[in-house]
Amino acid sequence: KMIAINPLQERGLERFTAPQNPFEMLTNSETQLASAYYNVRIGGDMALLKGMMRLLIERDDAASAAGRPSLLDDEFIQTHTVGFDELRRDVL
The rounded distance, in Å, linking the Cα atoms of 32 and 48 is 24
The answer to whether the Cα torsion of 25, 18, 29, 15 is positive or negative is negative
User: Can you name the residues that pair with 55 across neighbouring β-strands?
Assistant: none
Does residue 6 register a pLDDT over 90?
no
Instruction: Convert 31-75 into a string of H (helix), E (strand) and C (coil).
Output: EECCCEEECCCCCHHHHHHHHHHHHHHHHHHHHHHCCCCCCCCHH
* pLDDT classification of 56: cutoffs 50, 70, 90: very high
* pLDDT classification of 57: cutoffs 50, 70, 90: very high
Does residue 70 register a pLDDT over 90?
yes
Can you give the pLDDT at residue 45?
87
Residue pLDDT, tens place only, 29-55: 667 777 788 888 988 888 999 999 999
